[in-house]
């Protein structure tokens, strides 16, 4: 099932810097609210050793035989 792209992405106020999405100063209030709702809804994947895109990868030294 396709995921709908948020409308704020098309806005000239949206800055899609890698790892630093934000809105420029002066963005309309409705755009700010949509952006905040979207950012709160996404899952942040912790960056940990052995974690690739949220999937834990077992290392040989983590296994107990």
Looking at residue 22, what is its pLDDT? 94
Q: How many whole angstroms separate alpha carbon 12 and alpha carbon 8?
A: 9
Find, among 44, 42, 64, 39, the residue nearest to 54 by Cα. Answer: 44
**12-16, 23-27, 55-59 — which is least confidently predicted?**
55-59
Looking at residue 54, what is its pLDDT? 59
| 19: phi then psi, degrees, rounded to nearest 5 | 75, 5
Cα-based angle 48, 34, 5 (whole degrees, multiple of 5)? 70
* Average pLDDT of the chain, as a whole number: 79
Mean pLDDT of 37-41: 89
Looking at residue 5, what is its pLDDT? 84
Residue 10 pLDDT > 80: yes
| Structural tokens at position 45 | 């994947």
pTM of the model: 0.61
Q: For the chain, which residues make up each domain, given as ranges? A: 7-62
């Amino acid at each position: 099932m396709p995921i709908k792209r948020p409308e704020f992405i098309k806005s000239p106020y949206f800055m899609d810097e890698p790892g630093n999405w934000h809105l420029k100063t002066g963005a309309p209030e409705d755009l700010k609210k949509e952006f905040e709702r979207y950012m709160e809804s996404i899952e942040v994947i912790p960056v940990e050793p052995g974690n690739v895109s949220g999937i834990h990868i077992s290392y040989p030294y983590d296994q107990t035989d």
